[in-house]
Amino acid sequence: MNDRELLNIAQVASARAYVPYSKFPVGAALECSDGTIFTGCNVENSAIGCTICAERTAMVKAVSEGHTDFTRIAIYGEGENFCMPCGQCRQFMQEFAPDVEVLCAKGDGRYVSYRLRQLLPHAFELT
């Protein structure tokens, strides 16, 4: 699957976002090394801190189904800026895939690509 196809899946997933507070839907498509794709969207809560981001939704779905080997994650948000993963999501991804490729798209469909190491250098590890 190419980057564009994975980003399209992320965009479709963003349509299921529950965002009554921010009105900012985000979608994620997480690719595993065996080719399995897990999608996620942001799910907000009136207790704002309970909100879960699209990336973590996808990761939790994957890990809870026994998948922990991740190769790429596509993130789509319809804003003017590239939809970059928040700090919490970066740390969450780092736990399983320190070198995962992160594709970050914006509303016009353009995207940028990074390795997680670039987005979270010198990450915390419990060692």
Instruction: For residue 18, list its beta bridge partners.
Output: 43
Which residues ranging from 37 to 96 are in contact with ligand THU (CB under 6 A)?
A: 42, 44, 51, 53-55, 85-86, 89
* Cα–Cα distance for residue pair 81/79, rounded to 1 Å: 5
CB-nearer residue toward ligand THU: 89 or 120: 89
* Cα–Cα distance for residue pair 2/77, rounded to 1 Å: 19
Min CB(127)–ligand THU separation in Å = 26
Q: Residue written as tokens 């026994």?
A: 66
Of 44, 55, 78, 101, catalytic: 55
Say whether 95 is catalytic.
no
CB-nearer residue toward ligand THU: 8 or 42: 42
- Residue 19 interacts with ligand THU (CB under 6 A): yes or no: yes
Q: What angle do CA 120, 126, 127 make, to 5 degrees?
A: 110
